Structure 1
Amino acid sequence: MDYMDSLFAVCNLTGKSINGWEVINQLPEPDRSKGETGGNFSICYIVKKNGIECFMKVLDYRNCMTRPLRPHETRISVIEKATREFKYEMALSEHCNKHRVKNIITYVDGGECELTDFMFPTVTYIIYEKADCNIRKIINFSTKLVFTEKLKTISFKLKSLHDIALGVKQLHKIEISHQDLKPSNILSIGNNSKLGDLGRSLCLSTEVECPYSLSMFNGDWTYAPPEVFFNYRLSDDKERLYQMDNYMIGSLIVYYINGVSFNTLLDSKLSGGIRALAKTGISFDEARTYLLDAYHQSLLDFEESIPLEDLKEGLTKVVEYLCHPEPEKRGHPKNISKTNRTPNYDLERTISELDLFQRKAELNLYKK
């Protein structure tokens, strides 16, 4: 063990008791080469109480205090930022529990203790229910599956996507925009999928103090909707942020079917990709023609990749309205209608459609 690690309690919790939780083992750091992600200032463990295993995230004070500083950083600013964001994630988790949000990874416990055997004894932690794995590790993109296996796979995927859309709607109902909807943040628990990692979420509710600016996209830019690359913003914060989430739901649908995000499809149709287009300095209005052309071509590619004929049209239409590059035109067509009072970003119709598609896949399975 590294000498510095030996000084910090947070690096040595295996076999310890943390406020009644037995620490079973430390989890390995995310393998970024395989697309796995995780916080830069957290260490993760499996813990157990009353025979139930859970997942514990611990604030990594060692990294806060020893990692090299970036330009314009101070050590105190690094520590302050990490502790503020960790506290915010705990507050968001408590907010979700209070409002009984079901499709978010369940917050179990959180707090702080001191292990006096160490020079740096403080352990600040959040405990969640334990997931089986993230969705990236279990969905199958193979084109070699026989038809019955394809039906089982597509049915599972549609059930998971339904769970995700429902979870996002639940977050929106309590004024939270997830901002970081990507495969590594979709967790599988039994037959259900739940949203994980609220750490980058933006909360508009007065019940929780958000440490981030609401004016910017706060998630992984690999999955960001096109408008954020051009700093194009709808005037209403709620609509702007929720439509970002909706775009990422559409992108997840694409990923579930063919293993790439909708941004990857767009990039393949744009010279140099979205980032390169934005770096030319043109405005979003000037880029619309290029984005719309790439969008329509990408939809054709996606439709061709859908393995079941009777789902091609319906699934493509869902991606079409969720991933529209112009955020003011994003949303179910009935929501966009001028005669309708439902907000464009409302997901109720999308949830119903995904449920219907999953039932169709199940019905086809029973016919075989």
Structure 2
Amino acid sequence: MVKMLTDLASNLLGRKIGKWSVNKKLSGTANLGGGGFSSGYIAKADDGTVGYLKAINIHYAFQSTGKNFADLMNEITGDYIHERDLLAYCRDQGLDRIVAAIDGDIHHEPGHFIPVPYLVFELCEKGDIARHSQMASPGLAWRLRIFHGACVGLAQLHRHGIAHQDMKPENVLVFQDDISKLADLGRSTKNESGARFGNPCDGGDMAYAPFELWYRVNHPEWDVRRRATDLFMLGGVLAFLVANVNLLSLTLGKLPLNMQPRTNLNLSGWSGTYDALIPTLRRCLCEAVAEIVSTIRNDMRYPIERMLLWLCEPDPLRRGHPETVGQTFSDRYSLERIITVADRLAIDARIPERK
């Protein structure tokens, strides 16, 4: 069986995939919102449209996971259809801060046993914020404008009952005129019974996940379990933008080993309740945020510190803008007030600091 599995997805350069001529292979997929088990290309359609083609690499997934091949095919095909349909829904609903998929299909080629599911996205020539050249330049105005766009994109998803679940710097792309959009809905889920990626372990990159997931807290309410996670990750994006740091690791690193998450590398980690840990986590978060804002201009420190503490609050029931969280019978995770504050931050950052 293994000898029949040729790695077509990694060798599409020069081929015709549907109406797309594959002209360039990219060294990595993350800079264009790729994701795991995929290969990235620049492709040109018959009508001259240029896009980013993400080819799902079933061959690599099989080699990496060792799963039963038939089961893996079903799993990856299901994941592909889930992402394709979710992207089509976002496009049809006019979610303009979500990177648009402009085509997609499952490519079969004679002589190759494994098909290649693929999606073609609008081309982002400037890449993601993790690798953007502007991150090497001083100043907050550009960074906070990008953050505001990420807030708008996440709010668009949430209004339609979608949780992104993998908000991180690599999934915030910068387009022409510095318009930022959210990419990679491969781990996103909908607030529907039986929705794909709706289980507690189905989130995205744990390097950016909220504290409660590290301590295996699974809240029964969907909004708390999913949208609160997105808010925390949005705060992580802000921390990266203003100081190029990972807020999660910075905060957890301030805990003693016996209060850090219990993992295979730390068997002496926390065994108590999460609620009992929250006050200590909150103190460590305040220390981490203070370090982050100490590197930026004085007049912007307090509003950015406040935003980080709102979004990354250890108690998911208190996470978000305090006036929104505290309102009875309201949408506790609405991002409307967060967007308003983010917009003001971006405007204020354009004004030179008074000496």
Superposition TM-score tier, normalisation by shorter sequence: 0.7 to 0.9
* 1:135 and 2:129 correspond: yes
Question: Counterpart of 2:116?
Answer: 123
**Contact 1:180–1:201 (Cα < 8 Å) also in 2:** yes
From 51, 56, 60, the counterpart of 1:54: 51
CA distance in 1, matches of 2:65, 2:166: 26
SS at match of 1:314: helix
Look up the SS of the partner of 2:71 in the other structure: helix
Q: Which residue of 2 aligns with 1:83?
A: 77
Equivalent-residue separation in structure 1 for 2:341 and 2:244 (angstroms):
21
Q: Which has the larger displacement, 176-185 or 282-291?
A: 282-291
User: Judging changes above 3 Å, is the alpha-carbon distance between structure 1 residues 5 and 294 closer, same or farther for their aligned structure 2 residues?
Assistant: farther
**Sequence identity percentage:** 24
1:44 counterpart residue number: 40
Deviation at 1:121, TM superposition (A): 6.5
Kindly indicate whether the alpha-carbon contact (under 8 Å) linking 2:22 and 2:42 is maintained by their aligned counterparts in 1: yes
Contact 2:95–2:153 (CA<8 Å) still a contact in 1? yes
Q: Work out whether 1:358 is the aligned partner of 2:346.
A: yes
- Name the stretch that deviates more: 121-130 or 268-277: 268-277
User: Structure 1 residues 52, 259: closer, same or farther in 2, change over 3 A?
Assistant: same
Task: Check conservation: 2:187, 2:202, Cα contact below 8 A.
Answer: no
Aligned CA distance change for structure 1 residues 321 and 217 (closer, same or farther; 3 Å): farther
- The answer to whether the 8 A contact 1:217-1:224 is kept is no
The answer as to 2:255 corresponding to 1:270 is yes
SS of the residue 1:275 aligns to? coil
2:208 equivalent among 212, 220, 223: 223
Compared with structure 1, are the counterparts of its residues 217 and 76 closer, same or farther at alpha carbon in structure 2 (3 Å cutoff)? closer
Matches of 1:348 and 1:69 in 2, distance apart? 41
SS at match of 2:98: coil
**CA 74–18 in structure 1, closer or farther in 2 if over 3 Å, else same:** closer
* CA-CA distance at 1:364 after TM superposition: 2.7
Check whether the contact 2:33–2:183 (CA below 8 A) recurs between aligned residues: no
Asked whether 1:313 is paired with 2:302, we answer yes
Deviation at 1:260, TM superposition (A): 0.8
Alignment partners' CA distance in 1, 2:135 and 2:36: 30
| 1:263-342 alignment, distance < 5 Å | 263-272=248-257, 274-276=260-262, 279-305=269-295, 307-338=296-327, 340-342=328-330
The residue type paired with residue 303 of structure 2 is G
Matched ranges for 1:1-16 at <5 A: 7-16=6-15
Kept in 2, the 8 Å contact 1:176–1:205? The answer is no
Moved more, 194-203 or 161-170: 194-203
Contact in 2 for aligned 1:24/1:47 (Cα 8 Å): yes
The range that moved more, 295-304 or 272-281, is: 272-281
Deviating more after overlay: 172-181 vs 274-283: 274-283
C-alpha distance in 2, partners of 1:101/1:63? Answer: 32
Q: Unpaired segments of 5 or more residues in structure 1?
A: 143-148
Task: State the number of aligned residues.
Answer: 346
Q: Any unmatched runs of 5+ in structure 2?
A: none
- Residue identity matched to 1:110: G
Shift of residue 294 of structure 1?
0.8
Q: C-alpha displacement at 1:64, in angstroms?
A: 4.4
Q: Which moved more, 1:107-116 or 1:189-198?
A: 107-116
Q: Aligned equivalents of 1:205 and 1:114: distance in 2?
A: 32
Does the CA contact (< 8 Å) of 1:108 and 1:127 recur in 2?
Answer: yes
- Residues 67-126 of structure 1 deviation map (CA, whole Å, 9 limit, x = unaligned): 1554xx42222222222111211111111112111111111011133322x232633211
Cα distance in 2 for partners of 1:199, 1:159 equals: 25
Q: How does 1:233-272 map to 2 (within 5 A)?
A: 233-272=218-257
Residues 47 and 56, structure 1, Cα contact 8 Å, conserved in 2: yes
| Contact 1:139–1:157 (Cα < 8 Å) also in 2 | no
Q: 2:129, 2:135 within 8 Å by CA — same for their partners in 1?
A: no
Distance in 2 of aligned mates of 1:358 and 1:311? 10
- Report if the CA contact (8 A) 2:35-2:184 is conserved: no
Per the alignment, residue 145 of structure 1 pairs with: none
Q: Aligned with 1:15: secondary structure?
A: coil
Gap change, CA 1:119 and 1:244, over 3 Å in 2: closer
- Give, in angstroms, the shift of residue 293 of structure 1: 1.8
Q: Any conservation in 2 of the 1:215–1:237 contact (CA below 8 Å)?
A: no
Deviation at 1:341, TM superposition (A): 4.0
Residues 319, 19 of structure 1: CA spacing in aligned structure 2 closer, same or farther, 3 A cutoff? same
Contact 1:169 1:346 in 2 (8 A): yes
Superposition deviation, residue 243 in structure 1: 0.7
**Counterpart in 1 of 2:164?**
178
